[in-house]
Amino acid sequence: MKLVIVDDDCLVSSSLKTILEAGGEITVSATGTDGTDAVKLYREHLPDILLMDIRMKSMNGLEATAEIRKEFPDAKILLLTTFSDDEYIVKALQAGAKGYLLKQDYTSLLPALGAVASGQTVFGCEVVSKLPGLFRKAEDFDYAAAQISARELEIIRLVADGLSNKEIASELFLSEGTVRNYLSDILDKLNLRDRTQVAVFYYQHQSNTL
């Protein structure tokens, strides 16, 4: 797995590089110190995952995420920060970040990278606990009118809870392939791009599904 790490604290970047490369399965192609570096380094190295801080000078991580995803819609960006501000979390999801972890959850970093690499969306425990309250003032949405079945709505809820395809399959006694097919149909019916947008969509319209 090829990574680019961007953090305004060079000590953090170098420490992460040492830790992540120790297992031999990850290569850190480059490191940067702000969002401008992130955009430049992503274009240059096209990493499997960009691991990036949020609060940085010049261009912050949220701005860089939005710019990179605009140019590279399939970019996988995992935000690693010390801040769990509600506004940051919402903006990260809207920008298309594939994960939002707190630096104090460092033990979750390797599993999170693996999950993001396989196409999952990852949130730290503290972030997951905040999600239901972030979109309370939501407009109603008629899932039935969008031809979303009860089973599909179950899967949407589990995606919003941060479960992987494997975990959803286990929860609902389905195969992973069946879950993938359901997700593909859900994305088509709701005109969404990926799992992150599914989670955001669910919480934005949660008032009609509780």
| pLDDT at residue 84 in the model | 66
Owner of token pair 């919003």: 160
Q: What residues does 99 pair with on adjacent strands?
A: 78, 122
CATH 3.40.50.2000 corresponds to the domain 150-208 = no
| pLDDT at residue 124 in the model | 63
Per-residue pLDDT of the chain (210 residues; tens, 9 = 90+): 999 999 999 999 999 999 899 888 999 999 999 999 999 999 999 999 999 999 898 899 999 999 999 899 889 999 988 876 677 777 887 788 888 888 877 778 888 898 888 887 787 665 655 565 555 544 567 888 889 999 999 999 898 887 888 999 999 999 999 999 999 999 999 998 888 788 878 877 764 443
Fold annotation for 2-132: Rossmann fold (3.40.50)
84 half-sphere exposure, CB direction, 13 A CA radius: 15
Beta-carbon count within 10 A of 166 CB: 13
Helix H, strand E, coil C: the string for 128-197 is: HHHHHHHCCCCCCCCCCCCCCCHHHHHHHHHHHCCCCHHHHHHHHCCCHHHHHHHHHHHHHHHCCCCHHH
The full set of domain ranges for the chain reads: 2-132, 150-208
Distance CA 78, CA 112 (A): 8
Beta-carbon count within 10 A of 201 CB: 21
Q: What residues does 49 pair with on adjacent strands?
A: 3
| Nearest CA among 134, 30, 32, 125 for reference residue 92 | 134
Distance CA 169, CA 197 (A): 20
| pLDDT at residue 209 in the model | 41
| pLDDT at residue 151 in the model | 93
Q: What are phi and psi of 128, to 5 degrees?
A: -55, -40
| pLDDT at residue 206 in the model | 61
| pLDDT at residue 140 in the model | 65
| pLDDT at residue 170 in the model | 92
